[in-house]
Amino acid sequence: MALMQRRLIRAEADFGLTSKLWRVNWLFVLLLCALAGVGYVALYTAAGGSPEPFATKHILRFGFGLVIMLTIALIDIRLIARLSWLVYGGGVALLVLVLRMGHVGKGAQRWIDLGGTLWQPSELMKIGLVLALAHWFHKASWERVGNPLFLVVPIVSALVPVVLILKEPNLGTAVICAVISGVVFLGAGVRWWKVALVVAAIAIAAPIAYDHLHDYQRARITTFLHPESDPLGAGYNIIQSRIALGSGGLWGKGFLQGTQGHLNFLPEKQTDFIFTMLSEEFGFAGGISLLGLLAVITMGGMMIGLRCRHQYGRLVAIGISTNFFMYVFVNIAMVTGSIPVGGVPLPLVSHGGSAMIMVMIGMGLLMSVHVHRDVEFGNEGEDQ
């Protein structure tokens, strides 16, 4: 009976292109389109009521990203699994390359110039890290996951990109990579107390790490703790952000009526502080509505993982959803003054090409998990 059930699952899973398109979660795609639409409106108002230079590029990039997402969604998840470590290795190679010959901007060396467009290899590395860890754990039994020796490879695999990203330096993305790794470890069945020990070790080492931070990173922490100490310098951004958030009130000042944004008091209003600008014009109600949409997308990604029959898909969905959540958490916490400013965009809302494309690639992997949620992986070792 069990054999017949497995054959039925395999027969249902190995379907054609048309069937795969029907299995795409179109409601989830619609939610992403709605979020990109919010981004268009935000960038339209950031330019003073004009689609140029931000909004038009934003929607064109999203259209291109949507094609990429749907293309990846149709690729068999088992093929993606076989390429997991190749993607991870490519990400590590690009991180090494960017340290040797990357573009330098704002005191950091994080970008590679590809035809006039700057790309951050660390964004690709987050996806490669999720795929590699999911591949390592997807056939491991509970007993094997509990073996400390079995965890050496995934721990090293997580530490390598974190260290390379710290060298750029890019503290925010390095922390996000560490959090993603920890969530995937927990999802794979690693005991929570082992992850807690690592977190405790990091906390103990934090004062030592502080002494090795770059001057601008220490300045961000000092500004976070005491922004009023330098209101016209280091503390200017967060003070103006708080003013804009508070002045929006419950319902906001109205579309194109935000004074902090349109009088150019609000810095980086099309990228890092776009949530602040939206909240000034649409108020607390608008900000909460946007956060609700972001929360629904995050939970939708997690639900895709829970409904998947194979461990690889579950871990990929958990990792990609965590990455999306961390984008949102860091950006919102940053503009509200809850954490130091870190330069993390709001996904599918902020202006920026490479970040959007990487988010859409991640969503494509998430959709591939959904489309191929019933496939059977081979015996242990076949896909490793």
Per-residue pLDDT in tens (0 to 9) along the chain, 384 residues: 455 455 544 544 456 788 888 899 999 999 999 999 999 999 999 888 899 889 999 999 999 999 999 999 999 999 999 999 999 999 999 999 988 877 666 656 677 877 667 788 889 999 999 999 999 999 888 888 888 899 999 999 999 999 898 888 787 888 899 999 999 999 998 888 777 777 777 667 666 665 656 666 666 666 555 555 556 555 677 788 888 888 888 898 988 888 777 767 777 788 888 999 899 999 999 999 999 999 999 999 999 999 999 999 999 999 999 999 999 999 998 888 777 766 788 999 998 778 899 999 999 999 999 999 988 876 444 444
- Total-model pTM: 0.88
In a domain, 167, yes or no: yes
Q: Is residue 206 part of a domain?
A: yes
Residue 271 within a domain: yes
| Beta bridge pairs of residue 109 | 104
Looking at the domain assignment, is residue 4 inside a domain? no
For residue 384, tell me if it sits in a domain: no
Structural domains in the chain (count):
1
Peptide bond preceding 347 in cis form (omega within 30 of 0): no
Range of the domain at 329: 16-371
d(CA 32, CA 294): 9
Query: Collapsing DSSP states into helix, strand and coil, what is residue 352?
Result: coil
CB-CB neighbours of 240 under 10 Å: 20
Inside any domain, residue 360: yes
Q: Is residue 280 part of a domain?
A: yes
Instruction: Find where tokens 């069937």 sit.
Output: 19
Q: Looking at the domain assignment, is residue 377 inside a domain? A: no
C-alpha 262, offset from chain centre: 29
C-beta separation of 255 from 346 below 8 A: no
Beta bridge partners of 113: 118
